[in-house]
């Protein structure tokens, strides 16, 4: 409120005169700011990047994924929505990999448990190229239990860490021969007592040799379920529990195959083939890898890229789908 009377009017006028220069300064500053803003706009790119590298595209509001793919936004995802999205991903992968199977060659539970132990820190392909010679010489647990460690080491050398692996496979063979009558047990609590056998190996054996559901949490499985934001856990046992809670128990074994196959063929660790991914619209990490379809297609591995698989003796369904068997150890190509 202003003062009344003639003096008040003069004071107001003087105040107005004093304030005038400040207004002119503000106007000049505003003009400078507007000019600077125009300059910045001219230098800024016309469009935002299609994807946010190193981060899930869906987690950045207002940034659309390239190639019109619309990733989900799990940051505000409810438990029900997570379950639905996870199960839909599994259904989609089941259509892409209807022939998914364990990628270790085996003819019986004993061969499978040994091959799975040998697969640590190497590829299934190298294990499959090595085990024919091992099982030809030591076909039963009793045979391998009585083997000369140095001879076994020489056979297992191509798999890496061959001394430790020799100790494990001879040790588990002795345990099978002495404690289980030469037969591989079909219970989790018995399997994990065998030397070199953890929960991951046990579930591989239970699911694929005995038909008992289990989740195989290998490096591919861990990587993908975290990329898909099914869980933020890093401990394998906690990942197993968290993911298992999203699916019926009857789905666990096939789910493991689908996820692992997708990780080996398309969703690679260093350079995912996002542009060739069949579940891109459901993936919050879309854009971490190559999004151009033609470039992404060149990143595909095994049968998806037109190359041999990892098994020397794959199931017929895999061959019928166009898959090629792997070459034996020492073969060209």
Of 200, 251, 254, 304, the active-site residue reads 200
218 catalytically annotated: yes
> What is the distance between the alpha carbons of residues 43 and 186, in angstroms, rounded to a whole number?
67
With contact defined as beta carbons under 8 Å apart, do 277 and 97 qualify?
no
Q: Which residue has the tokens 């003069």?
A: 10
Count the helices and strands in the chain (H runs, E runs): 14, 0
DSSP assignment of 296-309, as one string?
A: HHTT--GGGGT---
> What is the distance between the alpha carbons of residues 275 and 177, in angstroms, rounded to a whole number?
51
> What is the distance between the alpha carbons of residues 324 and 320, in angstroms, rounded to a whole number?
9
Stated pTM of the model: 0.77
- DSSP assigned state of 65: P
65: phi then psi, degrees, rounded to nearest 5? -75, 155
Of 124, 218, 251, 254, the active-site residue reads 218
* Helix (H) / strand (E) containing 86: helix 79-96
Strand extents, DSSP E, 193-330: none
**Residue-level pLDDT, tens digit, the chain, 333 residues:** 444 444 444 444 444 444 444 444 445 455 545 544 544 344 434 333 334 333 333 322 222 333 434 444 466 899 999 999 999 999 999 999 999 999 999 999 999 999 999 999 999 999 999 999 999 999 999 999 999 999 999 999 999 999 999 999 999 999 999 999 999 999 999 999 999 999 999 999 999 999 999 999 999 999 999 999 999 999 999 999 999 999 999 999 999 999 999 999 999 999 999 999 999 999 999 999 999 999 999 999 999 999 999 999 999 999 999 999 999 988 754
| Buried residues in 261-278 as b, exposed as e (16+ CB within 10 A) | bbbbbbbbeeebbbbbbe
Question: What 3-state class would DSSP assign to 45?
Answer: coil
């Amino acid at each position: 409120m202003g003062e009344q009377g003639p003096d008040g009017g003069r004071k107001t006028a003087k105040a107005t005169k004093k304030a005038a220069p400040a207004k002119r300064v503000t106007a000049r500053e505003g003009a400078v700011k507007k000019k600077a803003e125009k300059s910045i706009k001219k230098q800024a790119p016309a469009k935002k990047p299609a994807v946010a590298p190193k981060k899930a595209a869906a987690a950045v509001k207002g940034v659309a994924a390239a190639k019109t793919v619309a990733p989900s936004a799990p940051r505000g995802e409810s438990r029900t929505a997570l379950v639905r999205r996870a199960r839909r991903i599994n259904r989609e992968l089941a259509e892409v990999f209807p022939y998914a199977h364990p990628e270790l060659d085996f003819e019986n539970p004993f061969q499978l448990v040994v091959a799975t132990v040998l697969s640590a820190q190497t590829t299934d392909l190298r294990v499959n190229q090595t085990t024919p010679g091992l099982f030809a010489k030591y076909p039963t647990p009793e045979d391998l239990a009585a083997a000369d460690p140095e001879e076994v080491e020489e056979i297992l050398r191509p798999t890496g860490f061959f001394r430790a692996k020799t100790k494990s496979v001879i040790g588990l063979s002795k345990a099978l021969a002495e404690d289980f009558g030469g037969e591989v047990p079909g219970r989790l609590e018995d399997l994990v007592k065998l030397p070199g056998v953890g929960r991951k190996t046990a579930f591989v054996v239970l699911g694929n040799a005995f038909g008992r559901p289990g989740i195989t949490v290998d490096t591919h499985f861990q990587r993908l379920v975290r990329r898909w934001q099914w869980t933020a856990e890093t401990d394998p046992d906690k990942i197993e529990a968290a993911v298992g809670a999203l699916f019926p128990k009857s789905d666990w074994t096939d789910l493991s195959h689908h996820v692992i196959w997708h990780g080996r063929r398309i969703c690679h660790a260093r350079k995912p083939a996002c542009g060739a991914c069949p579940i891109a619209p459901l993936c919050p990490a879309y854009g971490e890898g190559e999004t151009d379809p033609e470039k992404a297609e060149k990143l595909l591995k095994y049968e998806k890229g037109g190359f041999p698989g990892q098994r020397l003796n794959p199931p017929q369904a895999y061959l019928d789908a166009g898959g090629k068997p792997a070459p034996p150890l020492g073969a060209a190509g």
